[in-house]
């Protein structure tokens, strides 16, 4: 294990919600005190789930890629809502998330379930924190980054600071999830604008075999058809050799 002694750092966040400013410092706990590993296996009729870097746990059927799951699912692990699933080989890159569904995952994943007083979505964000990602990297076992793996025994031996009050965990998770919703809405707006731009380009330029665009600004509607010209007449390109004999390109 490539572990180092944990540095002592402040257990009080620099930014805190007003109602928790007098709640005292956060506690330092082993992850093994907070999570238990779920190892049960029963693949009968359950949906196959995957873990992505950007979206966390999602249904494998939603992925735009070939399903590489084995035909024998008997060794796949059970997952329940509010379980946290992480990619044992990619936890040090942030490949983890909370499941919203009951399903199964590949044996390559580790499934952990928090004790009842813990808020899963708080931990989902906590596990994406840069400082904790660095810890996952240090505690992962393997010779090279391609073989690093963080199994539950090593995971359970990591110390992480945690709010003493579950309400503070919930508040943090709610705040960050609200921001994620705003980001998601903005992403949809950007995608819609990209599609709108693509549609405009198809109309502002003539279609194949035509010389007049289907959509034109009012002041150019009577300007006639577009001319067809050879590109070389608009921007010819030649080459010449420099003093060292290397070819360089010049525009004419």
Residue 108's CATH number? 3.90.220.20
Per DSSP, the residues of 40-51 read ----TTPEEEEE
Length of the chain: 252
- Domains identified in the chain, total number: 2
Domain that holds residue 229: 218-251
Q: Are residues 149 and 236 in the same domain?
A: no
CA–CA gap between residue 37 and residue 29 (Å, rounded): 16
Q: With b meaning 16 or more CB within 10 Å and e meaning fewer, what string describes 226-246? A: eeeeeeeeeeeeeeeeeeeee
Q: Are residues 135 and 238 in the same domain?
A: no
Instruction: Decide if pLDDT at 248 tops 70.
Output: no
Residue 196 lies in a domain: no
pLDDT at 246: 58
Helix (H) or strand (E) holding 33: helix 31-34
Residue 4 lies in a domain: no
Residue 207 lies in a domain: no
Q: What is the mean pLDDT of residues 121-139?
A: 95
Q: What is the band of 73 on the pLDDT scale with cuts at 50, 70, 90?
A: confident
Q: Would you state the structure tokens that stand for residue 163, as one six-digit string? A: 């709010």
Residue 2 lies in a domain: no
pLDDT at 67: 63
C-alpha triplet 54, 41, 83: angle, nearest 5°: 40
Residue 230 lies in a domain: yes
Give this prediction's pTM: 0.75
């Amino acid at each position: 294990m490539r572990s180092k002694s944990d540095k002592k750092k402040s257990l009080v966040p620099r930014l805190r919600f007003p109602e928790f400013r007098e709640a005292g410092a956060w506690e330092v706990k082993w992850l093994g005190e907070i999570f238990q590993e779920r190892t049960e296996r029963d693949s009968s009729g359950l949906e196959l789930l995957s873990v992505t870097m950007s979206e966390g746990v999602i249904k494998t059927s939603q992925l735009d890629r070939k399903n590489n799951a084995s035909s024998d699912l008997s060794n796949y692990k059970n997952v329940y809502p509010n379980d946290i699933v992480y990619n044992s080989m990619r936890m040090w890159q942030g490949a983890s998330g909370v499941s919203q569904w009951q399903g199964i995952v590949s044996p390559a994943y580790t499934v952990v379930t928090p004790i009842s007083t813990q808020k899963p979505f708080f931990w989902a964000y906590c596990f994406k924190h840069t400082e904790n990602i660095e810890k996952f990297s240090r505690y992962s076992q393997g010779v090279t980054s391609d073989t690093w793996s963080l199994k539950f025994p090593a995971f359970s031996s990591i110390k992480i600071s945690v709010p003493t009050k579950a309400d503070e965990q919930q508040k943090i998770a709610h705040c960050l999830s609200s921001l994620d919703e705003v980001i998601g809405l903005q992403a949809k707006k950007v995608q819609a604008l990209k599609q709108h731009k693509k549609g405009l380009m198809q109309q502002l330029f003539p279609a194949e075999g035509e010389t007049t665009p289907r959509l034109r600004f009012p002041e150019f509607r009577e300007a006639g058809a577009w001319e067809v010209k050879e590109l070389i007449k608009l921007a010819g390109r030649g080459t010449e050799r420099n003093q060292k004999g290397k070819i360089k390109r010049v525009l004419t």
